[in-house]
């Protein structure tokens, strides 16, 4: 049986990776398409992108994931759908909050890109939990009771 510290550590690693994977994908995409030098892009992703992604993963993603775990909604499709929806909504809210609906860019494609980044983070979170066996059903003792 896994201890409480192990579970907290695994979920912490999963949350860290859920924030890191979208930032790496964003940085790789920006390095291929942006007109800025690579040092500017990487430093932006390290100084701004990762802390923002980690904050959102802790404030929004982790409570949603814990709710889904409590309800035993642990299928990878649920994780992908939830991550895409969270990424889409967060991107739209950030664009609306900072009034960044640019005339040259399509807001729909920006929101869909944010949704795909959210999907990648949720899939990283789910994969980490699956790899460490956190999504397996809890065992039962001989009396049919779940262990404490």
* Span 89-115, pLDDT tens digits: 988 888 888 776 665 567 788 889 999
Q: Give the predicted TM-score (pTM) of the model.
A: 0.81
pLDDT at 146 over 60: no
Length of the chain measured in residues: 148
pLDDT at 144 over 60: no
Tokens standing for residue 103: 């005339």
pLDDT tens string 39-48: 988 898 999 9
């Amino acid at each position: 049986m896994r201890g409480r510290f192990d579970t907290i550590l695994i979920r912490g690693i999963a949350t860290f990776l859920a924030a890191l994977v979208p930032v790496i994908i964003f940085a790789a995409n920006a390095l291929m398409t942006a007109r800025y030098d690579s040092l500017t892009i990487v430093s932006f992703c390290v100084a701004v992108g990762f802390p923002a992604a980690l904050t959102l993963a802790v404030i929004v993603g982790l409570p949603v994931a814990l709710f889904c775990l409590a309800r035993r909604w642990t299928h990878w499709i649920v994780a992908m759908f939830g991550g895409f929806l969270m990424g889409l909504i967060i991107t739209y809210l950030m664009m609306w909050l900072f009034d960044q609906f640019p005339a040259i860019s399509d807001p729909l494609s920006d929101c869909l890109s944010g949704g795909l980044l959210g999907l990648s983070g949720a899939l990283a979170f789910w994969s980490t939990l699956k790899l460490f066996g956190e999504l397996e059903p809890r065992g039962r003792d001989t009396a049919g009771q779940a262990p404490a």
